[in-house]
């Protein structure tokens, strides 16, 4: 059984490395960019072609699995029964378009809704974060990661999405004030890499399943808490206001949420 | 004359590379961290020792020059007459302390207040941005940079300091809304590197002379505008609310400032 997952892992790593080469090559040509829900929610030809490529590869690796993909080339899911792969072909599309940097490919593998393996690939730095319960740890390429220090909110930096801060959703401004500072990197995958590396203690953002599926698996493997902003489990089939944080910082942030409710 | 500047440049590059090695070595030991004006304004033993090291090196290279340093080991300046070196030994000290990443060493060299040479060293990535009028361009290590595309505000990402966004100083929220998105990297040096590389179109923050001295020289060499938030020249001996932007984005941002004044 363990060997089966090891082999699956090797196939996913190989698939992602090939996908990276293709993306780097296509980035040499002009992108085709379109707006989705609004002018800041973008999709490019590469988001689409890379999702198609990844899903085709997943179907070869795991023919009976179902796949949920951001750009809609997977299956329409109403439950998480059996093996489900959740795919974000380019996370941080605005960074991808404007910076050609600071974006990620992400894959999360679930079995009956339970975390198995997660992958966040920092494409430009060529660092693949891979791991989960089925591998018994998390690796950044060959380097095994240690669990981030359990910092209190005041002791570390918190990642956030810009709109949450500006509109002060979920007491974001009070949370930032209580922290050591706010950072905004523009990609859920890049934010989660910072938490895995112990460079941020948390991240708060509205996230779709493909934004958080891989990170949830990797983060929880290292003891980082992943919940909704009010401490409930995520609904992995829908959008959530997600709170990722060290145990202590999660407690501090839930206290800020609770204090306000009691006003 | 040109050769004299070339030689000076080589000496500064060599000094910065040695400083980097020392900083990396000292980072292996626990930091001594103290708060300055408030708990988010930090200084470490390495900020201090590195400033002392850099200033000693500058005095060897250019004995008659005056030096303005963040941590106070230089000269007390009341004017910019003659040759003045402005030094930030560790820019982004909070990142340095919490992330051990995303910080920079910076040096700006002025002659009678006029830009000569600038240096921003991304220490962890080992990329030294160096250039200015006396070198006729800007280089990232061996790679010469081309001028960033003159993007309008709506076409690119804008860097900001967290407090400006949260307190909506200088219409920061309207500016972010009009842009393609906000990024917060927590270091003026790292923000300016993003602009030099064309990954952000601008940056707005309250900055001291050592935060902007190097960047101003490098950015202006590539046609990026550096001014106060209302379009006036910076006072290089004091704190400024600084607007760095492409020409078009500067125009768009100044219009936002002006529109509000006319209300």
Residues 187-226 of A with CB under 8 A from B: 194, 199-200
pLDDT reported for residue A240? 96
| Cross-chain residue pair B173–A166, CB shorter than 8 Å | yes
Contacts of A215 (CB under 8 A, 6+ apart): A106, A108, A118, A120, A188, A189, A192, A226, A244
Q: Where are the domains of chain A?
A: 2-144, 153-261
Residue B263 has pLDDT above 70, yes or no: no
C-alpha neighbours within 13 Å on the C-beta side of residue B241: 10
A9 membership: H or E segment, kind and range = helix A2-26
Q: Is residue B147 pLDDT above 50, yes or no?
A: yes
Whether B94 has a pLDDT exceeding 90, the answer reads: yes
Substitution target in B103, B122, B155, B165 with the highest count of A β-carbons within 10 Å is B165
* Inter-chain CB proximity A99 and B166 less than 8 Å: no
Q: Which residues of A touch B194 (CB under 8 A)?
A: 99
Residue B98 touches chain A, beta carbons under 8 Å = yes
What pLDDT sits at residue A163? 93
* Fold of the CATH domain B153-261: D-Maltodextrin-Binding Protein; domain 2 (3.40.190)
Give A263's pLDDT tier (boundaries 50, 70, 90). Answer: very low
CB contact under 8 A, B157 and A98: yes
The whole-number average pLDDT for the span B5-23 is: 97
**Rounded CA separation B240/A7 (Å):** 57
A101 and B166: CB-CB below 8 Å? no
Identical fold between B2-144 and B153-261? no
Per-residue pLDDT tens over the stretch A33-71: 999 999 999 999 999 999 999 999 999 999 999 999 999
Contact B40 A181 (CB under 8 A): yes
Establish if A162 touches chain B: CB-CB under 8 angstroms.
yes
Question: Tens digit of pLDDT for each residue in B36-52?
Answer: 999 999 999 999 999 99
A102 contacts: CB under 8 Å, gap ≥ 6: A92, A95, A124, A185, A186, A187, A190, B199
B136-163 burial, b for 16+ CB within 10 Å, e for fewer?
Answer: eebbbeeeebeebebbbbebbbbbbbbb
Q: What is the pLDDT of residues B198-218, one digit of tens each?
A: 999 999 999 999 999 999 999
- When pLDDT is averaged across residues B113-129 and rounded to a whole number, the result is 98
Picking from B40, B180, B184, the nearest residue to A180 by CB comes out as: B40
Q: Which of A103, A131, A144, A140 is nearest to A19 (CA)?
A: A103
Chain B residues with CB under 8 Å of A99 CB are: 157, 194, 199-200
pLDDT in tens, A145-167: 999 999 999 999 999 999 999 99
List CB contacts (< 8 A) between B99 and chain A.
157, 194, 199-200
Residue B148 has pLDDT above 90, yes or no: yes
What's the whole-number mean pLDDT along residues B172-189? 97
Whether B2 has a binding-site annotation, put simply, is no
Separation between Cα atoms, residue A214 and residue A257, nearest integer Å: 26
The ipTM of this complex is 0.96
- Which pLDDT score is estimated for B1? 61
DSSP β-bridge partners for residue A132: A137
Among B157, B158, B177, the strongest candidate for a mutation testing the A interface, having the largest count of A CBs within 10 A, is: B157
Which CATH number is B2-144's, of 2.60.40.60, 3.30.70.260, 3.30.540.10, 3.40.50.2020? 3.30.540.10
Question: Which helix (H) or strand (E) is A127 found in, with range?
Answer: strand A127-132
Distance in angstroms (rounded) separating the CA atoms of residues A181 and A158: 6
Q: What is the per-residue pLDDT for A120? A: 98
Chain A residues touching B166 at Cβ < 8 A: 165, 173, 176-177, 182
Q: How confident is the model at residue B121 (pLDDT cuts 50, 70, 90)?
A: very high
CA B84 to chain A, closest CA, distance in angstroms equals 33
Q: Kindly tell me if the per-residue pLDDT of A187 is higher than 50.
A: yes
Q: How far is B5 from chain A (nearest CA, A)?
A: 33
Inter-chain residue contact B183 with A185, CB threshold 8 Å: yes
Q: Can you tell me the mean pLDDT for B173-194?
A: 97
Q: According to the model, what pLDDT value does residue A3 have?
A: 86
Once rounded to an integer, what is the mean pLDDT over residues B185-192?
98
């Amino acid at each position: 059984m363990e060997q089966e997952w090891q082999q699956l892992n090797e196939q996913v790593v190989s698939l992602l490395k090939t996908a990276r080469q293709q993306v780097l090559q296509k980035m040499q040509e002009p992108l085709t960019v379109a707006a989705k829900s609004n002018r800041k929610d973008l999709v490019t030809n590469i988001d689409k072609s890379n999702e198609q490529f990844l899903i085709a590869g997943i179907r070869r690796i795991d023919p009976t699995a179902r796949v949920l993909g951001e750009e809609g080339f997977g299956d329409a899911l109403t439950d998480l029964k059996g093996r489900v792969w959740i795919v974000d072909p380019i996370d941080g599309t605005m960074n991808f378009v404007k910076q050609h940097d600071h974006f990620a490919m992400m894959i999360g593998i679930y079995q009956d809704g339970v975390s198995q393996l997660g992958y966040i690939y920092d494409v430009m730095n060529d660092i693949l974060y891979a791991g989960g319960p089925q591998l018994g740890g998390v690796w950044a390429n060959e380097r095994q990661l240690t669990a981030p220090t359990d910092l209190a909110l005041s002791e570390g930096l918190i990642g956030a999405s810009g709109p949450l801060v500006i509109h002060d959703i979920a007491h974001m401004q009070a949370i930032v004030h209580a922290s050591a500072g706010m950072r905004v990197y523009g990609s859920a995958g890049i934010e989660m890499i910072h938490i895995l590396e112990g460079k941020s203690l948390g991240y708060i953002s509205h996230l779709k399943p493909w934004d958080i599926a891989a990170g949830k698996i990797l983060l929880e493997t290292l003891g980082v808490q992943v919940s909704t902003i009010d401490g409930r489990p995520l609904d992995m089939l829908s959008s959530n206001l997600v709170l990722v944080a060290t145990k202590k910082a999660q407690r501090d942030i839930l206290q800020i949420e609770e204090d306000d409710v009691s006003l």
